[in-house]
Amino acid sequence: MTEARRWRYERGEGRTKHRWQHDYAGFVPAERGACGKCASSINQELAEQLLNEGVPFAEMGDHDWPSRIYAVYQGAIYEAVPTIPGTSYHGYPWRGDLPGRTPLPRAILRKLEAKALERNEANELKQWLKQYGGR
């Protein structure tokens, strides 16, 4: 059996777009729609832990890394996308109620619900989905 691959979290040089002073995820209005803001307690170490414990989603393609990785923290769903394909990712709060957004696959959602249950965040996740789930 091969060792699990470790992904690196890449915030981005000087990147503050997805950061704010509150210790919860949320959204603020922006020019091109809502801009996700990460909980202030997510530092580099925690971001990489969430990324590497996250739920991978692989779209059809010829690469061997997930096109998205989903995680749950404080009941909020986070989505990470490749920055350096096959090496690193950048994450932000996910919401499914944006125009053109497809809902999370049920298999991904079930895994996120199980992770939230393990961390006693099931009620918070339920509230997140009620507010931002788009179903």
pLDDT digits (tens, 9 = 90+) for 35-84: 899 999 999 999 999 999 999 998 766 678 999 999 999 999 999 999 99
DSSP 105: P
d(CA 116, CA 34): 24
According to the model, what pLDDT value does residue 77 have? 97
* Whether the predicted pLDDT of 133 surpasses 50: yes
According to the model, what pLDDT value does residue 102 have? 82
Q: How far is CA 72 from CA 1, 31, 69, in A?
A: 27, 27, 10
Sign, Cα dihedral of 44, 115, 95, 52: positive
What ranges do the domains of the chain cover?
14-132
* Whether the predicted pLDDT of 104 surpasses 80: yes
Residue, of 98 and 113, whose pLDDT is higher: 113
**Per-residue pLDDT averaged across 106-110, rounded?**
96
d(CA 76, CA 72): 5
According to the model, what pLDDT value does residue 64 have? 84
According to the model, what pLDDT value does residue 103 have? 87
